[in-house]
Amino acid sequence: MGLSYVEENYLKAILKLSGTPNGQVSTNAIAAQLSTSAASVTDMLKKLSDKDLIAYKRYKGASLTSEGQRIATTLVRKHRLWEVFLVQSLGMTWDEVHDIAEELEHIQSDRLIESLDEFLGFPKFDPHGDPIPNAEGKYTLRTQVPLSKLTEGQQGIVIGVREDESAFLKHLNEKGLTPGKHVKVLTNDAYDNTIRLVLEDKELNLSGKVAGNIMIKLT
């Protein structure tokens, strides 16, 4: 019947990593994403393949089947709706909701999630600016660019971030780089995308890695 907590996490990890080249996700990439061993991943890939949730060939990596994709997308939907609830209704902060939503997304009930969606007013984006898939798995694309891509003189509004690790979000919060803030790029190093920018009359430096995870809506 239903999948285990662990199986669900594997599907979600594969979906997250599917943005890469050919759509084939490597064993090692999944192991890194889930902080587990490659051997464990191999075992699980066989299992998910037997259930026709992924296409898997030995040594060649895995990709989601349409059913696997459906399930993984539903998990993303649940995760992001819960994040909206935690921030919007309970007043929790941007950087503390991810881990809790990571647990809440596994609660099994279609009725629950549709009621929650309605209660929240059918939001299209979560507090990090990521789009929330609807019940059919479709979602709205947002016109956004990673901060690391902006060139000197360009400016825009902070929409959200791609990464959702607590430590990273906390770091941004401390710097004041929260959604809605206006930024203007002063310099963008051609080699490593180190960024210098203006945020509310203060100047700020960011590494290319950090800047690559901050999404901006150009103005």
Residues 113-172 binding its own copies (CB under 8 A) are 115-116, 119
Q: How far is the CB of 21 from DNA (least distance, A)?
A: 12
Candidate list 20, 28, 37, 109; residue touching its own copies; CB under 8 A: 109
Q: Should residue 104 be labelled a site residue for its own copies when binding is judged by CB under 8 A?
A: yes
Binder of residue 36, out of DNA, its own copies, none (CB less than 5 to 8 A by kind): DNA
H or E, element range at 27? helix 27-34
**Among residues 118 and 203, whose Cβ is nearest to its own copies?**
118
Q: Which residues partner with 155 through β-bridges? A: 184
Stretch that binds DNA, among 39-47, 76-84, 110-118, 171-179 (CB under 7 A): 39-47
Burial class (CB in 10 A: 0-12, 13-18, 19+), 57: exposed
Residue 90: other Cβ atoms inside 10 A: 9
Q: Should residue 58 be labelled a site residue for its own copies when binding is judged by CB under 8 A?
A: no
Task: Specify the amino acid at residue 143.
Answer: T
Q: Should residue 46 be labelled a site residue for DNA when binding is judged by CB under 7 A?
A: yes
Q: How far is the CB of 215 from DNA (least distance, A)?
A: 29
| Cβ–Cβ < 8 Å for 127, 83 | yes
Angle between helices 66-84 and 110-119 (to 10 degrees): 40
Residues 57-86 binding DNA (CB under 7 A) are 58-61
| Cβ–Cβ < 8 Å for 82, 104 | yes
- Distance in angstroms (rounded) separating the CA atoms of residues 105 and 152: 40
Candidate list 17, 45, 158, 195; residue touching DNA; CB under 7 A: 45
Residue 202: other Cβ atoms inside 10 A: 9
Stretch that binds DNA, among 41-49, 73-81, 143-151, 159-167 (CB under 7 A): 41-49
Q: What is the chain's length?
A: 219
Residues 8-37 binding DNA (CB under 7 A) are 26-29, 34, 36-37
Q: Should residue 40 be labelled a site residue for DNA when binding is judged by CB under 7 A?
A: yes
- Residue in the block written with tokens 């150009």: 218
189 φ/ψ sector (left φ>0, alpha ψ -120 to 50, else beta): beta
Residues that bind its own copies (CB under 8 A): 86, 89-92, 96, 99-100, 103-104, 106-109, 111-112, 115-116, 119
Residues that bind DNA (CB under 7 A): 4-7, 26-29, 34, 36-47, 56, 58-61
